[in-house]
Structure 1
Amino acid sequence: MQNIFYGRSFLAEKDFTGAELYTLIKLAEHLKELKAQRVPHEYLKGRNIALLFEKTSTRTRSSFTIAANDLGAHAEFLGSHDIQFGKKESLSDTARVLGSMFDAIEYRGYEQQMVEALAEESQVPVWNGLTDSWHPTQMLADFMTIDEIFGHLKGIKLAYLGDARNNVANSLLVTGAMLGVDITLVAPSALQPTQAVQALAQSFATETGAELVITDDVDQGVKGAQVLYTDVWASMGEEAAWAERIALLQPYQINMTTVMKTGQADTIVLHDLPAFHDLETTMAQAVHQQFGLTEMEITQDVFQAPYAKQFQQAENRLHTIKAVMAATLGELFLPQTMVIQ
């Protein structure tokens, strides 16, 4: 029987159904176990994959590279200074050249239309490693982590605090709705998602029964949450916005008080990293010198607490990216989707 994922691109969460996303999560859990047991799983032996990066990365680049190696494929990193993309050569020309040489392309950059055009012009599977609009591979890792810890997804309440207009918040709202997870975005009114994103998420929530809430009230938003999630207050390219973001988002910091407000004994904390929880980076030191802050979106005591699962979440980037690559490019037997639990 045909693998239902084969040859498909993964440009945004809505490219797949909720059941298909859950199937990829369960496949990732299986691949994680194979790796832990050192069982070979070279489903992509002989394949060549282009890793096209316009934005820098730690987890995404490492995950795609190691996943390709584990699957028996060769990954070629193409940074913004390595090729003529957008400088001497158009997107269309670049996509057609890469599509003729590589079996698949990963893209991490800025505009969503770039990754969509790559998929259309290259005629090979294209995977979105991050754009300003969506972060689909991150979502698989996030919800895999929740599934591992709680044993299910449906009915879990996740509260995200911070900039709710960014790609992570957009993706959490939509993906949670697709998977039947209750999502609350807790953010000041100036940093809440667009009506278009809310409408898209609600269309999925109507089918799955997920409850979606968008509020600026921290007490209301985190009450009953089994998962607290946050992200940096200013994304790549937004460093000039630090003063504005700090003024708006300090009340939305995840600290011990925030955790206690959930009223749950088993609450976990997630962060897609990097995190500003200390002064061990040059950027954190610069912010400290200008604004006097030693911590930003998450405090050091929460970040180091046993219920903070950001490093398990980070590792799961590898396993979920591997699942996407294997499912869409490998000769796997995946004839049907799994029921979301």
Structure 2
Amino acid sequence: MAVRHFLTLNDLNTDELRHLVERAIELKGMFKRGTRYEPLKNRVLGMVFEKSSTRTRVSFEAGMIQLGGGAIFLSPRDTQLGRGEPIEDSARVLSQMVDAVMIRTFEHEKVTTFAEYSSVPVINALTDDYHPCQLLADMQAYHEVRGPIQGKTVTWIGDGNNMCNSYINAARQYDFQLNIACPEGYEPMQSLLDAAGDRVKILRDPAEAVEGAHLVTTDVWASMGQEEEAQKRIEAFKGFQVSPALMDKADKAALFLHCLPAHRGEEVSVDMLDDPRSVVWEQAGNRLHAQKALLEFLLCSE
């Protein structure tokens, strides 16, 4: 069977993605009941980090341990990748030693090149263009509280970044409408907007964008690598803060998500994460279980 990779949500079909959400919920229930389940006994995940992380490292490493396997953390300081070894060569070598590779890096081209030369599954744990693993956790978070997201309206507020790009893919795969509220000049990838057609709308007024929304979500205004633009972005995104008052304009059953870490007082008001409509802490914890479902799918479906 051909090796399957997970570089964007589009690497899986709709049925597979919906299955992952349902399976993540099952695995979470097993975890909470203390049920031991170790289908990845003696399997190893190589974790390549060129961008720092809290949630990604802990969730993947803990997930592999809980599934009976292990994980090896690799930073540029510890590997030949940081000393100029071609990605193609690293992929050929690493994939002979581990059962899957997770990569968190800057340029999306790095993960696509690595996958091209890898003989084991490659997982995109974040690039500048996409963050598909986070979307699995987000879809799980909504499903757990409100049921399937199919047919609902989701509002993204803020920068057209990797999370926004992945929400566009999610809108197509999970079948929901997406409103994107962003300032001019901060739109997501045009090719994704073109592919999504009328499923996605770009709006300039957050209040208009959240009207009737069933899910409202956002991210920091300056992502990793954009720190020098932080002040400029704070000015550009004035009026795009998510607050309880803004949430009041959404559907009465609307939920709020944030992939974290959050800058309280910037993209979210100081009290938004603790609002009753916020499920960000469950969302963060779901990274563990959504990724376990993904690892099981990629490594046990061979």
Structure 1 and Structure 2 fold alike (TM over 0.5): yes
- The answer as to whether partners of 2:59 and 2:291 remain within 8 angstroms in 1 is yes
The amino acid across from 1:276 in the alignment is H
Choose which of 111, 119, 124 in structure 2 pairs with 1:128. 124
Return the alpha-carbon distance in structure 2 between the equivalents of residues 85 and 201 of structure 1: 36
CA contact (8 A) 2:244 2:275 kept: no
User: Within 1, Cα distance between the matches of 2:206 and 2:108?
Assistant: 31
Partner of 1:104: 100
3-state secondary structure, aligned to 1:321: helix
Q: 1:200 aligns with which of 179, 195, 203?
A: 195
**2:170 alignment counterpart:** 175
Aligned to 1:72: 68
CA contact (8 A) 2:3 2:119 kept: no
Secondary structure of the residue aligned to 2:78 is coil
* Structure 2 CA distance for aligned equivalents of residues 152 and 100 of structure 1: 39
Whether the 8 Å contact between 2:49 and 2:103 is mirrored in structure 1 is yes
User: Which residue of 8, 15, 29 corresponds with 2:11?
Assistant: 15
- The residue number in structure 1 matching 2:214 is 226
Task: State the Cα deviation string for residues 256-308 of structure 1 (Å, max 9, x = none).
Answer: 2211222x22221100000011xxxxxxxxxxxxxxxxx10001222111211
State the partner residue of 1:270: 257
| 1:178 shift after superposition | 1.4
AA in 1 matched with 2:272: V
Q: Does the Cα contact within 8 Å between 2:48 and 2:103 map onto a contact in 1?
A: yes
Gaps of 5+ in 1: 206-210, 278-294, 333-341
What TM-score results when the alignment is normalised by the length of structure 2? 0.96
In the alignment, the residues of structure 2 paired with residue 201 and residue 98 of structure 1 have an alpha-carbon distance, to the nearest angstrom, of 36
Supply the distance in 1 between the matched residues of 2:300 and 2:151 (Cα, whole angstroms): 33
- Given that residues 158 and 240 in structure 2 are in contact (C-alpha distance below 8 angstroms), is that contact kept between their aligned partners in structure 1? yes
Tell me which of 311, 317, 322 is aligned to 2:281: 311
| Other-structure match for 2:89 | 93
1:55 aligns with 2:25: no
Letter in 2 for 1:273: L
Structure 2 counterpart of 1:249, from 222, 232, 237: 237
Partners of 2:275 and 2:208 lie apart in 1 by 23
Runs of 4+ in 1 over 3 A off after TM superposition: none
In 2, are the aligned partners of 1:7 and 1:329 still within 8 Å (CA)?
Answer: no
The equivalent position to 1:260 in structure 2, one of 243, 248, 261, is 248
Distance in 2 of aligned mates of 1:91 and 1:46: 26
CA contact (8 A) 1:174 1:200 kept: no
Question: Which amino acid is the alignment partner of residue 252 of structure 1?
Answer: F
Aligned-pair identity (%)? 36
| Secondary structure of 1:130 counterpart | coil
Q: Deviations over 1:113-155 (max 9, x none)?
A: 1111111112110000000111110000001111111112112
Q: How many residues align?
A: 302
Secondary structure of 1:251's counterpart equals coil
CA–CA separation in structure 1 for the residues paired with 2:207 and 2:260: 24
Greater relative CO (CA pairs within 8 A, separation 6+): 1
Q: Is the contact between residue 177 and residue 212 of structure 1 (CA under 8 Å) also seen in structure 2?
A: no
The Cα shift of 1:79 comes to: 1.2
Alpha-carbon deviation of 1:109? 0.4
Give the AA of the match of 1:170.
Answer: N
Contact 1:177 1:183 in 2 (8 A): no
Candidates 265, 270, 274, aligned match of 1:300: 270
Give me the whole-angstrom Cα distance separating, in 1, the residues matched to 2:169 and 2:44: 31
Q: Secondary structure at the match of 2:271?
A: helix
CA shift for structure 1 position 331 = 5.3
1:337 maps to which residue?
A: none
